[in-house]
Amino acid sequence: MRRKLAAGNWKMNGTLTSVTEVMTLCATHKDPGVDLLICPPATMIRTLGTATTDHAMHIGGQDCHAQASGAHTGDIAARMLADAGATHVILGHSERRADHGETSADVHAKALAAHDANLTAVICIGETLAQREAGETLDVVTAQLHDSTPDSATSDTTVIAYEPVWAIGTGKVPTLEQIGEVHAALRIALTSRFGQDGDAFRILYGGSVKGSNAAEIFAVPDVDGALVGGASLKAEDFSPIITALENA
């Protein structure tokens, strides 16, 4: 059985005052039946890592550089994230691909760096609205999966997150059938490439997940959790999603 994962991507939100939200989550879910992950801004990783030492909560980064060190002003290396207390790192989020021109080859290189630093890579893939409407969704996401994921990836070192670009932060959610179709295709691609271990990779869904729709999304086969954006910033919003996943 794949252990489910509820992951929160805070993006460019949160300051030290937000620590109380994480501690509230820890108090509410003292012995969670799923894995929990919060990916705050890099400025908060050390603080949250220290604050959650006695809880099952994992802390992650939102990006890393492909190189271990060097003249890369403003970037952060995977080993630096690990040194600060991170256990995971989000890679290839659509906002990185769109805003920073990151390609799947870039994500592939970053995933190798993450694995070298003993970080679990959460590799994001997803189609735009234009690609969805053109009927290209499965071709796009399976190509991104193939090109972004190293051959050396395993279910222990890598998590896949499907996030349709057009559903992120928009309130729009694909139908359950659409989510199921994509997750099934990703599972087939993973098992075809990685054999038996391909069935152990966790595939998260992301894109306007909230307490009111989480349960039905988690009931879709091969949805092993969620990568949550805005709804992960407040404990009162994220906690119902965690509970829904625990009950899935």
| 206-220 tens-digit pLDDT | 999 999 999 999 999
Q: At what angle do helices 235-246 and 19-28 cross, to 10 degrees?
A: 30
pLDDT tens profile 238-248: 999 999 999 99
Proportion of the chain above pLDDT 90, given as a percent:
97
Q: Catalytic residue numbers?
A: 93, 163
Half-sphere exposure at residue 93, Cβ-oriented, CA atoms within 13 angstroms: 23
**Mean pLDDT score, 123-152:** 97
Spatial distance between the Cα atoms of 217 and 89, rounded to a whole number of angstroms? 24
CATH number at residue 124: 3.20.20.70
Question: What pLDDT, on the 0 to 100 scale, is given for residue 170?
Answer: 86
Spatial distance between the Cα atoms of 242 and 55, rounded to a whole number of angstroms? 15
Range of the domain at 204: 5-246
pLDDT tens profile 54-88: 999 999 999 999 999 999 999 999 999 999 999 99
Number of domains making up the chain: 1
pTM: 0.97
Residue 172 has pLDDT above 90, yes or no: no
| Average pLDDT, rounded, for the chain | 97
Spatial distance between the Cα atoms of 69 and 109, rounded to a whole number of angstroms? 14
- Label residue 97 by pLDDT band (50, 70, 90): very high
- Label residue 138 by pLDDT band (50, 70, 90): very high
Question: What pLDDT, on the 0 to 100 scale, is given for residue 1?
Answer: 84
